[in-house]
Structures are given as C-alpha cells and as structure tokens.
Chains A and B, each alone.
Chain A
C-alpha cells in the first residue's frame, strides 16, 4: 500500500539552531500534505496544510515564520523549525492524501519525527 515516510525519526538539536523534517510520499503523488504536532500525553494538533507549489496554510496560533513549510514537489514536503527552543520539543507527524490510483481517496500518515531541543 501507499507509504508516507518521514525523516529523521529522531533528532536532537541545540537551542537556537534550525532543524528540517522531511515528509515523502513514496509511491503516490500528494498535492496536499498536512503537518501535525503532538505534545506528550496529548492529541495531535494540525499545524498547517502544505500545498504543492504554493504557500502553506497555517492554523491559528502557529507561527509561520518559525515553522517553515516547503512543498516543492508532489512527493516531498519539509517542515523546518527555525531557531528552535526547548518548548519546540515535540512529536511532529505528517500526512498525505492519495487522490488517485488503486488507493482512491485515502490519507496516509508518516511514522512521525521526535524532536528534542536541548
């Protein structure tokens, strides 16, 4: 079946640095991808909708200058956490919609990326 892959799965970075997380659709084209954030022991909250070839749409309260999203191709969206701080430590997960082929209208989630800012 269709697979969405995230990389890296785990990342530790120093406070003040930037870190990039990739989300790839491995065997289908995804014009739209979604980025979620999950704090410990909490649910997933939608951060932004990533649209191929255009600007991402951010949810209210999400700093677009801090969480940069780039969807440069139909199979890749990236989330860059800029000037990371410890409070940015979280589990970030993406999803992508498979519009066509045998999978039809199905959303697939990546495995998630654990970010720890020290």
Chain B
C-alpha cells in the first residue's frame, strides 16, 4: 500500500526566500511521485513528477524536487519564493504497476510574506 505524509500543514516564507515543502512516502513498489498545486477555488495543476531516471526533477514555475529513495522523500523546493506561489501544495504517490490510483498527502498551505 502507498501513503504520503506532508510535514507542516502551513508554511510561511518571505518573498525571495527559499521554499521547502516536505513529503515522505511509503510504497511497497517503486513509486511514481507527484507534486500538485491548487490555487483557491481551482483544480489541481501538475508541478512536476518523478517516474524513473534522474532523481532531481524540474517542474514548472521554478520548482524542483529530488527523489531520495534512502530517505523515502520527495521534497519540493524553489530557490526564491514569489507572491504568486501562495497556494495549497499536494504531494501524491502512485505505484508503478498500475499508475492509476493516486494517494495524496494532506497538503501544505504556502503563504508568501511580502
């Protein structure tokens, strides 16, 4: 079975500061890992995903995440926060066998302080 833990339901950073959103997963098979962003009253937008290959994955809007198997982590980072980054971020895992069913973390609300 797969599960996702996002540490910190709320994260606040100053504009221009580093963004670090934590995600740890549990999976009995090689995982597919995803980060989604959800702006208020909107659906999910894919930021980036890891399936196989390079463990450092670059996504949209300057975000990147690194898959660390030994730590079962897939933390999301961005070097410099922008006001427009304020949103809800969800980490998700699906297994490589079916690739269908997603398991989401509880989400992290990012606030960017001007």
Contact = CB atoms under 8 A, between A and B. Distances in A.
Q: Kindly state the interface size class of chain B when it binds its partner.
A: 10 to 19
Contact of B44 (A34, A45, A93): A93
Given A109-B43, A109-B44, A112-B42, A43 B104 contact: yes
Given A49-B100, A49-B101, A107-B99, A42 B44 contact: no
Contact of B43 (A32, A45, A110): A110
Contacts of B46: 109
Interface in A15-42: 32, 34, 36, 42
Interface in B23-66: 36, 41-44, 46
Q: Kindly state the interface size class of chain A when it binds its partner.
A: 20 to 34
B106 A43 contact: yes
B43 A42 contact: no
Given A93-B43, A112-B42, A112-B44, A43 B105 contact: yes
A71 interface: no
A95 B102 contact: yes
Given A49-B101, A97-B99, A107-B99, A43 B44 contact: no
B90 A44 contact: yes
B43 A111 contact: yes
Contacts of A49: 100-101
Contacts of A112: 42-44
B100 A34 contact: yes
A97 B99 CA distance: 8
Interface of A: 6, 32, 34, 36, 42-46, 49, 93, 95, 97, 105, 107, 109-112, 114
